[in-house]
Amino acid sequence: MKECIFCKIANGEIPSATLYENEEFRVILDLGPAAKGHALIIPKAHHANLYELPDETAGHAMILAKKVITKMKDILDCDGYNIVQNNGEAAGQTVFHFHMHLIPRKEGDHAGISWTPGTLTEEDKEEILSKFSME
């Protein structure tokens, strides 16, 4: 993908604050952090979103997330971590090259990763359960 900014960052054509890299991924600090230490895991190969990501890469991304946040939580002395991954414009995705957000959290911070809980209605439950199948 010639004009994809994350292809360029992941492959080192555009410099970034790199925490770690291997053959498959680059882990960088986000330029617009939700909180101090907000990092992104970016695969070096272009895949627009999670739907298109090969299973193997998806698995490796989560294992890498575990390693990075385990280390980072001690460095930053944070109280929690959010892993956020947006797919599609409606979900807040702005860069259409798969990435995972690793967001350190402190008690009482205002990083704002929350939603107002609704109610699971009988209608919604029945509709979804009747339509969804992994077969």
User: Which residues are the active-site residues?
Assistant: 99
Residue 7, binding choice from ligand 5GP, Zn ion, none, Cβ under 5 to 8 Å by partner class: Zn ion
The rounded Cα 41 to chain-centroid distance in angstroms is 7
Judged by CB, which is closer to ligand 5GP: 92, or 112? 92
Question: Tokens standing for 127?
Answer: 């509709």
Q: Which residue has the tokens 């770690």?
A: 20
Phi, then psi, of 44 in degrees rounded to 5: -75, -25
Q: What mask of x and - would describe binding to ligand 5GP in positions 76 to 115, judged by CB under 6 A?
A: ----------x-----xxxx--------------------
Q: Which residues within the stretch 20-79 sit at the binding site for Zn ion (CB under 5 A)?
A: 46
CA distance 29 to 36: 9
Q: What mask of x and - would describe binding to ligand 5GP in positions 8 to 47, judged by CB under 6 A?
A: -x------x-----------x-xxx---------------
CA distance 116 to 114: 7
Q: What angle do CA 82, 76, 70 make, to 5 degrees?
A: 55
Binding residues for ligand 5GP (CB under 6 A): 5, 9, 16, 28, 30-32, 86, 92-95
| Residue ranges binding Zn ion (CB under 5 A) | 1, 4, 6-7, 46, 97
